[in-house]
Each structure stands twice: as structure tokens, then as C-alpha cells.
Structure 1
Amino acid sequence: MASTPGSGDHRRVKSAAFLFACGCAGAAPHWLDPMRSLWPAISLAMLLGGYGLRTVLRADLKRGDTAETVEFDRGSLPSLDVVVAARDEEGVVTRLVERLTALRYPADRLTTWVIDDGSLDRTPQLLDQLAERHPGLNVIHRPRNAGGGKSGALNTALAQLSGDWLLVLDADAQLQEDLLERLVPYALDGGWSAVQLRKAVIDADCNWLTRSQAMEMALDAVIQTGRLASGGIAELRGNGQLIRRSVLEESGGFNEDTVTDDLDLSFRLLTHGALVGMLWDPPVQEEAVPGLKALWKQRQRWAEGGLQRFFDYWPTLTSAQLTLRQRWDLACFFLLQYCLPVLSFADLSTSVISRTVPTYWPLSFVAFGVSGLAYWRGCRGRNEGPLIPRPGVWHLLVAMVYLSHWFVVIPWVTLRMALLPKRLVWAKTSHGGEQVTAGA
């Protein structure tokens, strides 16, 4: 598989440079004249606020056509491999296989693969038993220390696939029976090289944290579709990503030198001129993270992988290889998602030290306002799968407070990336096997 454009010490240098630049930008306004100290924040607020507002309002929550609304020739559907990398998933693997074997698709064009990536629980035994009952299930056993994390496991399967497309799922995924019949035609009709399904949380009613994550997934899908509709890009999210195999192989497969294979692959595809589509319904259903400790661990991985991809691919992302709208979209997204939290932390720290008033609050205010609008759009619209919490005042307030965790996670991860050497591990999210219906 192709090597990553940057790794190891190169990423540490880039992280340190990014941290230094944001720190200076966050502290500098405090040494300006008080009448001018808010100008940088107000200028950015107007610029990025306009981008965010346009993105949310232009979001197109597309639904895959059902058998009742469109007729298609089942004999013309392409061959498809469903691929799952599983490590220590005894709580969900049986349910997973049952869901996958219930999917409607021509049997001679569908193959299912589950990679046991060195599980230490009963996952290997359960998979072997399931393979005896389901002839279409192919099980690959991989040593625990084979390396490459989830990407390494997926590459092991990729070498054996023969389908035109592959659908990558997490072990806790739950799917509607007609998903493939609706997803594949959507990808073909749209001319997409990959399509990401909206992620829906199945256990939103457990507590405030799972409810906030369910709302966050809706917010993310709104922003993704809005970026795409505005001429920008949509990104893969790991669970529920359909990819054309030939394009994936041309892009170098899954990067084994990253902690987030999906985010990295999104940019790999982009640099090869392959675009990712986004489908609102039907969704891929998954479990939320049940506690703060697990959330902190997961979000650190997401933040690190998100920053890595920008550091690794920035020469291409800023070149004429991409359209002007794509470059503008990536620049604004990077400023809002990664620069703003570090700027705000530096701004607050300088305020405490210098005993001055924070200066970047107008930008933060606008960012949270746009997020609130995205929550409202995503949570009030029609959707299939698990119900999304309604965007009432209390739910919105809690979700907004919850969203502020990124203002802690990203500065911390950036500091850690700048100071500590990278140790690549598969920091998987634990799955408990929450039982719900996968129907509409």
C-alpha cells in the first residue's frame, strides 16, 4: 500500500508550528489598542460565519429511493463486498452477522467478510461457528500484533476482494434490510466514487451524553451535505462507507500510518479526483459512547487523525489540483474545526495572565450559533432509523455545552502531538450490544 506523505517527526514539527502560530494569533490582539483588539475576531466571525450559514442552509438531506418509488434492474447491480474489522467484539458479532445476512441484494453479487484482528475474547470462536451456518460469510483471522491497526486489517481483506464496490462497517453497525438496494443505485446515479451514510445513534435515550451524540451525528450530516452542496467536499466517517474498489486501490488502499483510516482516506480519494457523496437516509445505526472516559479517548483519536490528514496532504489541498471552492471549503473548515479551539485557549490563557478581556468571543459566539442552527435542521427533519432527539430549548442547550468539549480536546491533542512521539495503536471503541430494531 502507498506510504503516507508525512509521519513521525515531520508531524511533530508541523504540530509544533501549528500550535505556535495559533498561540501567537490568540495572544496578539491583547497587545492592540482596546478599540482594535476585537477586529481580528469580528473579521473572522463575518468570514467564517457566512461560510457556516451558507453551509447549513444549503444542506440537502438526500434519501435513497425505495423499491416503491423507483424500479431498477436487480440483474444490473454491481458485485459488492461487505467488510468489517472486528477486535474483541463478542457482544455484537452475532447480531452483526444476522443483520448482514438479512440484507436484500442479489446473492451471487454479495460477499461478506469479517476480519478477526487478534481478538482475545470469544470473537474468533463465534465467527467460525457463524461461518458454518452462513456460507456467504468469509472469516479472516489475523494475529494480534500484525500491525497497521484497523487499516491493516482492512488491507488484509482488500487483497482478497473481487467485488466492484465494498461497504466498510463497524462491528456494532445495524442496517435496514433494503439499504444496499437503495445505497448502490444512489452511488451509481450520482457518479460518486464513495458514499458515506448518515450515522444514527441507537441508544440516544440512555442518558444526556448519548442523546447529545445522537444530535451531534445529525449536525455532522447536515454540515457534510451542506459543504457538498456548496461546492466543497464530504468526508468518510468509518462506519457505513461505500467505496468503489478500483478507486480505493488506485489511491493506495487504507493508510496504516494513521489513527483514523476514514479521514485519511477521504483526502487520499480527493487527491486522486474521486468525490465522496453523502446519503441522509437510510442511515447506518451504531452505539453511542456511554461514558465521559470513553468519549475522551475516542475524541482524542478523532482530533489527532483529523489534524494528521491536513498536515500530511496540505501541499495538494492548497494546490490548483483542487477547485477554488474545494480549497475555500477546506480552509474554512480547518479554521473552524481546528484553529478556533486552539485560538480560544490561547486567548483565554493570555486573558488570565494579562488580566485583560478575551478577544475571540465574537468568533466563538458565531461558531456556536451556526452549530445550533445545524442541530435544529438535523434534528427536526424527517429521518429513518432511530428517532433523533427533538431540538427543544433544553436539548439544544445541553448539546451546545456538550459540543464545547472540542475546545479542550483539540488544544490538548495538538500539544501532545507537538511534544510526544507517535505511538500507533488501534484505540477501538467498546461495543456493548444494545438491542434495537433496524427498521425504518
Structure 2
Amino acid sequence: MARHVARPDPRAHWVLLLLGLVTLLAALSFHGLVSAVGGGSGPDQAPASPAPRAVTTGGPVLRLDGPTPVSRRLPARTLALTFDDGPDPRWTPQILDVLRRHHAHATFFVVGSRVDEHPELVRRILAEGHEIGSHTFTHVDLTAAPGWRAGAELSWTRNAIAGVTGREVTLFRPPFSSTTAAMTEAQYEALRNAAGSGHVAVLADRDAKDWQRPGVPAIVKAATPQGGAGAVVLMHDGGGDRGQTVAALDQLLTRLGTQGYTFTTVSAGIGAPDSMVTATTGARLSGTALRWAQTGADWLTSAMNLLLGVALVLGVVRLAVQVACAQRHVRRVRRPRRRLPEVVAPVSVIVPAYNEAANIAATVRSLVASAYPALEVIVVDDGSSDGTADIVERMRLRGVRVIRQANAGKPAALNTGIRAARADLLVLVDGDTVFQPDTVYRLVQGFADPTVGAISGNTKVANRRRLLGRWQHLEYVIGFNLDRRMYDVLECMPTIPGAIGAFRREVLFAVGGVPADTLAEDTDLTMKVLRAGWRVVYEEGAIAWTEAPSSLRQLWRQRYRWCYGTMQAMWKHRHALREPGAGGKLGRRGLPYLAVFQIVLPLAAPAVDVFALYGLLFLPWSQLALAWLGLLLLQAGTAAYALRLDRERFGPLWTLPLQQLVYRQVMYLVVVQSVVTAVVGNRLRWQRMVRTGEAAALVGGAPAR
């Protein structure tokens, strides 16, 4: 009986990627939530519906966990100074210094997220005899928050304080509150809900309104009780510039100190026991975990900002180098050539074909119609089952040979053709490619330079009527051909495309023919030629029309093979980094460029997209729209420049925004899949694209644009 060997689920890495991206979004969102902390009490508003009179006319310390409200006031000449929105690394220490100088104590209503950011300040507050209360975790308006958010805010703040101090708080002051007389019904309900979790509400008798920065005298006046009465005074040690608060506090303590006032905490002022109790182990652990989560989210956000900045700088540098090299390449092409002899030596064109019935006739006809004086065409049928070889034989074209062999793969078919070729100059062509009449002539003229071992042609997308075809057309013009101009100038061309490339016969034999141990045999072969000491150049005038994938599934399979094969070739030729000459230029220029822009940055792209989603949630949309529009205009400018260099129309530019939203993500996910395949050690089989025959329509004309 045959045994079924369990294989790992190929979708597992996608599940892990999705979980990772969701975790990243959650961490970024948590950072966005806790970093969007404001401060201040907010402007005065006329209460549309006031709280019950028993509350608005009562004392500032409220117990609302019973059937009726219970309020407490401070005795005469007793001042409970309270500070909201801290701890702040600049202002809280200054306020503590003033309090210590006057031997005064106070109550600090801290924001939970800031407790996690500055735990040392919270510990100092307690160590100097002050009291701590809760001011929510993110300074949220509880009257506008849903019930789950309000509960989380209170719980997180309690846990944060417990994790830092080992103690839990019971006093609570809601953000954007003021005196009891100004309390609304909505605020009252929020306080009653907080009382359900054991919190005692503390409002104020005197609101200093220091958050408005009205000036030191105005703050002192607003904070001073009338007629020697006791009071809870509301001030701030965080949430903005509190320089006036520090100065006003010093004057207030000096003035009221001479009038016999006592400065104490809220609990001591009303004669209540210490409001802070020993925290449970669970609360301490939860608080510690919360602090680690906040720290991790902060670090992750900083790392993402750094990554985004690095990617942006690299992108701009890449564009600058591409444009500079393209301009140099154009000047070199337009410059009158040195007096090199015209190349008219015999050329053998080798066409490997496997089930290419849709396009093979058009390919062969375009080659035979070439305006080149001495040309032979060798079609190597690699075990086709659709009658590819029969189609060519029935054409009975002069100078065309058909070689049949059992299916052995494209490299084997190319090597068969190379061995059978009669000429010393060889052109390798895919079976779905159509040449223009002058393509072969233009392609081989570079061989007049004896240092040139191989030449890349200019590949163009034939089937560009549909949106997917237009996207690939832009990619070929911008990403491939603009890059090839740069590679040519920098003398580190890593790939001659299988659709159109010319080689010296001696070079191919010297490097052992077309390699079969990687899936990107064209890249592997080009790198071998460079490492053998030959120059590889780009001829933009040698145009070949090829059929691009017509569905996302086919595109995925093609690019998956390309990407995986390119990584194989890069690893295979990694020792070029230490080599001199042409191989060293490949190793120190071409390979790092491929590694950064075709592997590393695409791998980081999903995280960047998640960061963009985070921006949509927590950053002003106007800023995001402006940044996206700026990048889009930069890409459009690059695309327009590349199209002009290739003498193409600008019409496809309208598809760029959609390309960024769909096509770009597909390409990045292809890289992710390829890297996973390489890491787990799986072997990727050859995957052939289904041909539609659209390239055949190019014989005698250019594609529809």
C-alpha cells in the first residue's frame, strides 16, 4: 500500500503573514491611540442638561456607588492641590521641586499611557509623599466614549499604575472636567459608571484654568479660595507648556502659606484613609505587560518610521541614478559612433519552443522577414504536444530548420540549438516573441566592439489592450528598460531577457552553455558571461514584442518563477563580490541593487502598506493625500520620462494609481512567496504560461495602445 507523506500546508506562511500584519496593525493602532493624548480641561460649555442638584451643589469628592450621591468638602484653610495630565518629563519634576521646597503635598491625576512612558516620575511622586489618582489611559472624553472603551481606559490606567508602583488607585478625575457646579448629566453618568469599578470621583472647587495660559497673576487669583475656605484646586503638570503653572504654584504656596493654609492630598484633606491600596499580583503583571506592549508599540512605530524614511531615500536615490544613467546612455547612443565596422556576419537565431502553436508561426515569419543579409532560424521543439514543430515544417520557409527532441526543458532546448548553429553570432528568442524587420541588425551591431560578449534587446508588451497588459507595459518600460540603461552605463547588466538576446558563440561555449540548475536561466547565463570577463550591453533600438500574462494567476506563476530563479542566480554568483573586472562590477553593483530593490524592500512592502492604513486611521487625511499625491506625481514623471525614451505614448499613465493599489501588491507578495520557498528549501518546478496568440497579431503592425 502506498504511504501518504504529510506535506506542510503551503498556505501556512500566508496565515503567518496575515497574523503578522494584523499584529503590526494592532501594535501601530495601540501606539496611535496612546500617543494621541491631549491635555487641559477644555473650554467652558453651557450644560445642556445639568447633573442632579445634589451633586452640583455638593463637595468635590464624590462617592457614587450607592443609591444616593455622597460628597465631601475640605475643611477651612485646607488646600488640596491637584495636577492633571502628567507625568511630564519637563514640568512634573519642576512642580515636585516647588512642592518640596514649600513642604507641601498634592494629588496627581496621571494619564496611564504617560505612566508607562515615565515610570520613574510616578515613583518619585509617591516617594515624596504625594497621592496618585487616575485620569484615564489616553485622556479620552468618557462622555463620548462607548462603554467598552471607558471600562478599558480605567482598567488600563489602574494596571499601569500597579505595574509601576505595586499599588492600585481609587481616586478618579475624568478628563475635560472642572468644578462640580459645571458638571453635566453625561459627566455624572460617566462618573457613576466609574464608581461601579470602585472609583471615587474628585472634581474641583477652584479651576485655575492654567491650561489656557492666562498669565501667572490670573492663575494665582483663580486658584485662591475666598474667605479662608478649604478647596480642591485643579491645575496641570502635563499636556502642554506649564511654565506659568510652575511660577503660579510658587506664588500661591508662598501667599497662602502666610495665611495659615495647609497643603495636603485629597484623601488626607477629607480625613479619609490612604486611597491607594496594595495591588494584586494579577494587576501588577497586567500593568507590566501593558507597559511592555506600549514600549514595544512605540519601538515598532519608530522602526516603521525609520524603514519608511530609508525606503523613501533609497527610492529617490534610485530614481536619480536611473535618470542620470539614462541621460548618459541616450547621449552615448546619439553620439556619432567610432569608426567600427558594420556587423553583417552570419547570425543563427535559436527559438526554443514548447507548445507554442499560438504564436510560433508569427515568430518564425517575423524572423525570416528580418532585414539582415545572412540569417538562419533554428526552431527546437522540446517535446510539444500541440503540433508546434508541424506548424513550422508546413510553412516550408527558406533558412528555417526544425529540431525535435524529447521534453527536457528550455535550457536543454537552447543548448541543442547552440550546438546545431552554424554562425558565430547567436540570437536567442522565446517562442512567443515577434521581431521587427530591423531588430536583428540593430541587435548585433554592438559586436563590432570585440570586448562585448552579449547584448540585450528591448522587450515590449504586445497584449496591452487590457488593464493588466497596460500595467505590465509600464513595468517593462519603467522597471526593466530604464534599469537596463542604468546597468549598461554601470557595466553590471544582470539579465538579458529570454525574449531577445545576442551572444557570441565562443562566449556560450566558454561558460558551458545555458545553465539548467536555476529557474532564471537567462539571469544565470548573463551573470556567467560577466564573470567570464565580457561586457554585456543594452541596445534599445532592437525591439522584440512578447506576449505577457493575460490573467493574475498566470502573472503570479511567471513572476514567482522569475523571482525565485533570480534569487537562485544571485546566490550562485555571490562570490562575484570578491572578483575583479566585469565580475566584480556585477558583484558590487548589480547584486546589491537586486538584493535591495527586488528582495529586501518588496519584503518590507506589506508592512509599509499596513503603516499606510495606520496613517489613515490616526493621521490627518489631508497630509496622507498630499503625500500619496506627491509620490504618485513623482512616479508619473518617471514613467513619462521612460515612455518618452522608449518612444511610447503617454496614454497608459492613467492606470498608474490603480497599478499602485493592485499590481504592486501582487508583485510584493510574489517576492514573499519566493523567499519562503527558498527558506524552507522547496524546489519550484517550471511553470509555463498559457499563450493566447495575441503576439501573432503583431506581424505587419504595432500593438494597439
Task: Verify same fold: TM over 0.5.
Answer: yes
Question: Which residue of structure 2 aligns with residue 218 of structure 1?
Answer: 477
Q: CA RMSD in A?
A: 3.9
Instruction: Say whether 1:163 aligns with 2:423.
Output: yes
Is the CA contact 1:81–1:113 (under 8 Å) kept in the aligned structure 2? yes
Task: Call closer, same or farther: CA 1:247–1:92 in 2, change over 3 Å.
Answer: same
| Deviation at residue 344 of structure 1 after TM alignment | 3.1
| Deviation at residue 357 of structure 1 after TM alignment | 9.2
| Deviation at residue 327 of structure 1 after TM alignment | 0.9
Question: Which residue of structure 1 aligns with residue 500 of structure 2?
Answer: 240
Question: Which residue of structure 2 aligns with residue 103 of structure 1?
Answer: 370
| Deviation at residue 252 of structure 1 after TM alignment | 1.6
Question: Which residue of structure 1 aligns with residue 387 of structure 2?
Answer: 122
Question: Which residue of structure 2 aligns with residue 303 of structure 1?
Answer: 563
Is the CA contact 2:494–2:590 (under 8 Å) kept in the aligned structure 1? no
Question: Which residue of structure 2 aligns with residue 183 of structure 1?
Answer: 443
Task: Call closer, same or farther: CA 1:300–1:97 in 2, change over 3 Å.
Answer: same
Question: Which residue of structure 1 aligns with residue 316 of structure 2?
Answer: 49
Q: Distance in 2 between matches of 1:190 and 1:377?
A: 32
- The SS at the match of 1:281 is strand
Q: Distance in 2 between matches of 1:347 and 1:29?
A: 18
Q: Distance in 1 between matches of 2:651 and 2:543?
A: 18
Question: Which residue of structure 2 aligns with residue 271 of structure 1?
Answer: 531
- The SS at the match of 1:435 is helix
**Between Structure 1 and Structure 2, how many residues are aligned?**
399
Question: Which residue of structure 2 aligns with residue 405 of structure 1?
Answer: 666
- The SS at the match of 1:166 is strand
Task: Call closer, same or farther: CA 1:298–1:388 in 2, change over 3 Å.
Answer: farther
| Deviation at residue 399 of structure 1 after TM alignment | 3.4
Task: Call closer, same or farther: CA 1:203–1:254 in 2, change over 3 Å.
Answer: same
Q: Given residue 226 of structure 1, which amino acid in structure 2 is its aligned partner? A: M
Task: Call closer, same or farther: CA 1:374–1:193 in 2, change over 3 Å.
Answer: farther
Structure 2 residue corresponding to 1:379, chosen from 643, 646, 653:
643
Task: Call closer, same or farther: CA 1:328–1:102 in 2, change over 3 Å.
Answer: closer
Structure 2 residue corresponding to 1:83, chosen from 350, 355, 363:
350
Structure 1 residue corresponding to 2:404, chosen from 120, 141, 145:
141
| Deviation at residue 232 of structure 1 after TM alignment | 4.0
Q: Distance in 2 between matches of 1:174 and 1:64?
A: 27
Cα-to-partner distance string for 1:364-415 (whole Å, 9 max, x where unaligned): 99998875444222223453xxx555354x2322333323321111001211
Q: Distance in 1 between matches of 2:538 and 2:629?
A: 28
Instruction: Say whether 1:435 aligns with 2:697.
Output: yes
Instruction: Say whether 1:417 aligns with 2:681.
Output: no
Task: Call closer, same or farther: CA 1:233–1:410 in 2, change over 3 Å.
Answer: same
Q: Percent identity?
A: 23
Is the CA contact 2:462–2:548 (under 8 Å) kept in the aligned structure 1? yes
Instruction: Say whether 1:94 aligns with 2:361.
Output: yes
| Deviation at residue 176 of structure 1 after TM alignment | 1.6
| Deviation at residue 95 of structure 1 after TM alignment | 1.9
Task: Call closer, same or farther: CA 1:273–1:294 in 2, change over 3 Å.
Answer: same
- The SS at the match of 1:97 is helix
Cα-to-partner distance string for 1:227-276 (whole Å, 9 max, x where unaligned): 32245435211101111111121112111112121111121112112222
Q: Given residue 302 of structure 1, which amino acid in structure 2 is its aligned partner? A: W
Q: Distance in 2 between matches of 1:323 and 1:32?
A: 38
How does 1:260-339 map onto structure 2 within 5 Å? Answer: 260-320=520-580, 322-323=583-584, 327-339=588-600
| Deviation at residue 117 of structure 1 after TM alignment | 0.6
| Deviation at residue 423 of structure 1 after TM alignment | 4.4
Q: Given residue 295 of structure 1, which amino acid in structure 2 is its aligned partner? A: L
Q: For structure 1, which segment, 275-284 or 39-48, has the greater mean C-alpha deviation from structure 2 after superposition?
A: 39-48
- The SS at the match of 2:452 is coil
Q: Distance in 2 between matches of 1:231 and 1:196?
A: 12
Q: For structure 1, which segment, 404-413 or 57-66, has the greater mean C-alpha deviation from structure 2 after superposition?
A: 57-66
| Deviation at residue 289 of structure 1 after TM alignment | 1.6
Indicate the structure whose relative CO is greater, using CA pairs within 8 Å and at least 6 residues apart.
Answer: 1
Q: Distance in 2 between matches of 1:407 and 1:262?
A: 22
How does 1:4-43 map onto structure 2 within 5 Å? Answer: 32=299, 38-43=305-310
Q: Given residue 153 of structure 1, which amino acid in structure 2 is its aligned partner? A: A
Q: For structure 1, which segment, 225-234 or 210-219, has the greater mean C-alpha deviation from structure 2 after superposition?
A: 225-234
Cα-to-partner distance string for 1:313-364 (whole Å, 9 max, x where unaligned): 1122354454468613431332111111212346678999xxx999xx9xx9
Is the CA contact 2:492–2:536 (under 8 Å) kept in the aligned structure 1? no
Task: Call closer, same or farther: CA 1:370–1:163 in 2, change over 3 Å.
Answer: farther
- The SS at the match of 2:442 is helix
| Deviation at residue 163 of structure 1 after TM alignment | 1.4
Task: Call closer, same or farther: CA 1:83–1:366 in 2, change over 3 Å.
Answer: farther
Q: Distance in 2 between matches of 1:42 and 1:65?
A: 36
Q: Distance in 2 between matches of 1:64 and 1:104?
A: 25
Structure 1: state its 5+ residue gaps: 1-15
| Deviation at residue 183 of structure 1 after TM alignment | 2.1
| Deviation at residue 152 of structure 1 after TM alignment | 1.0
Task: Call closer, same or farther: CA 1:33–1:92 in 2, change over 3 Å.
Answer: closer
How does 1:58-73 map onto structure 2 within 5 Å? Answer: 58-60=325-327
Cα-to-partner distance string for 1:102-161 (whole Å, 9 max, x where unaligned): 112223xx221000110101212222223xx223111110112xx3x2101111112222
Q: Given residue 472 of structure 2, which amino acid in structure 1 is its aligned partner? A: Q
Q: Distance in 1 between matches of 2:634 and 2:590?
A: 15
| Deviation at residue 94 of structure 1 after TM alignment | 1.8
Q: Given residue 376 of structure 1, which amino acid in structure 2 is its aligned partner? A: A
| Deviation at residue 297 of structure 1 after TM alignment | 1.1
Structure 1 residue corresponding to 2:515, chosen from 255, 260, 285:
255
Q: Given residue 398 of structure 2, which amino acid in structure 1 is its aligned partner? A: P
Is the CA contact 1:214–1:388 (under 8 Å) kept in the aligned structure 2? no
| Deviation at residue 300 of structure 1 after TM alignment | 0.8
Structure 2 residue corresponding to 1:195, chosen from 444, 451, 455:
455
Structure 2 residue corresponding to 1:150, chosen from 402, 410, 419:
410
Q: Distance in 2 between matches of 1:316 and 1:370?
A: 34
Q: Distance in 2 between matches of 1:326 and 1:224?
A: 16
Structure 2: state its 5+ residue gaps: 1-12, 25-294
Task: Call closer, same or farther: CA 1:429–1:191 in 2, change over 3 Å.
Answer: farther
Is the CA contact 1:114–1:138 (under 8 Å) kept in the aligned structure 2? yes
Q: Given residue 353 of structure 2, which amino acid in structure 1 is its aligned partner? A: A
Is the CA contact 1:235–1:276 (under 8 Å) kept in the aligned structure 2? no
Q: Distance in 1 between matches of 2:341 and 2:449?
A: 13
Is the CA contact 2:458–2:543 (under 8 Å) kept in the aligned structure 1? yes
Q: Distance in 1 between matches of 2:403 and 2:586?
A: 42
| Deviation at residue 437 of structure 1 after TM alignment | 4.3
Task: Call closer, same or farther: CA 1:200–1:324 in 2, change over 3 Å.
Answer: closer
Q: Given residue 150 of structure 1, which amino acid in structure 2 is its aligned partner? A: K
Is the CA contact 1:225–1:234 (under 8 Å) kept in the aligned structure 2? no
Tell me which structure has the larger Cα radius of gyration.
2
Cα-to-partner distance string for 1:40-97 (whole Å, 9 max, x where unaligned): 542454245313321233215659999xx999977x6222110001111112222222
